[in-house]
Structure 1
Amino acid sequence: MIRVVLPSHLRKHANINGEVTVRIDGPATQQSLLDALETAYPVLRGTIRDHDTKKRRAFLRFFACQRDLSHEAADTPLPDEVVRGSQPFLIVGAIAGG
């Protein structure tokens, strides 16, 4: 099971308390993780990725194992620590302003 931590606004939107876990059948990639997350929580469809292009929304970032994975290709394998469940996959709301 892969652990996922969502930003508070998405947790509230999906009525989730704390982190969630999702199971991935096949290769563990950002795409397969987000597909599994959206299947488990359909209300999140379109909130993390664009409906059509499946690209990450501009004000969200992906982190794991103290690395920014936001610009990794969608089919890049997730870090082993995330796949084993020892580290969570973090979806973080970016802050903008001046």
Structure 2
Amino acid sequence: MSTTEAKQTDVHVHTVRIVLPAHLRTIAGIAGEVPVTVEGAVTTRSVLDVLEADHPRLAGMIRDRHTQRRRAFVRFFACARDLSHDEPDAVLPDAVAQGSEPFLVVGAMAGG
């Protein structure tokens, strides 16, 4: 087996379930949960990279197009945890990578 073949077999492929707020589902033209296939580590960055590649209309809606930072009124949750301030390359919980729990993108609200 060549080194290239060995490296290819070491890559793990995960199907991650994403729940988007209604307005983003409308923009993307999708309904319900969005499954995305992530190769390698399942991180906020890798999940959103695949989501934006699969649904280009979402590019710039969740993260800034240039800095790739989360938009101010967008929050990320998984397994009852707020992941919004975690590093984008931090590995998401195993339950998200295994598909048993969704990755939630939530539109935050402000006002009084």
TM-score, L = length of structure 1: 0.99
Residue 56 of structure 2 corresponds to 42
Residue 108 of structure 2 corresponds to 94
Q: Which has the higher contact order (CA 8 A, sep 6+)?
A: 1
Which 5+ residue runs of structure 2 have no aligned equivalent?
Answer: 1-14
Q: Deviations over 1:34-54 (max 9, x none)?
A: 000001101100000000000
Which 5+ residue runs of structure 1 have no aligned equivalent?
Answer: none
Say yes or no: does 1:83 pair with 2:97.
yes
Distance 2:28 2:45 in 1: 20
Distance 1:48 1:93 in 2: 9
Residue 82 of structure 2 corresponds to 68
Distance 2:84 2:42 in 1: 16
Shift of residue 26, structure 1, vs aligned partner: 1.2
Distance 1:97 1:16 in 2: 29
Please tell me the root mean square deviation across aligned C-alpha atoms, in Å.
0.4
Larger radius of gyration: 2
Query: 4+ residue stretches of structure 1 with deviation over 4 A?
Result: none
Percent identity at matched positions? Answer: 58
Residue 2 of structure 1 corresponds to 16
Name the SS of the counterpart of 2:47 in structure 1: helix
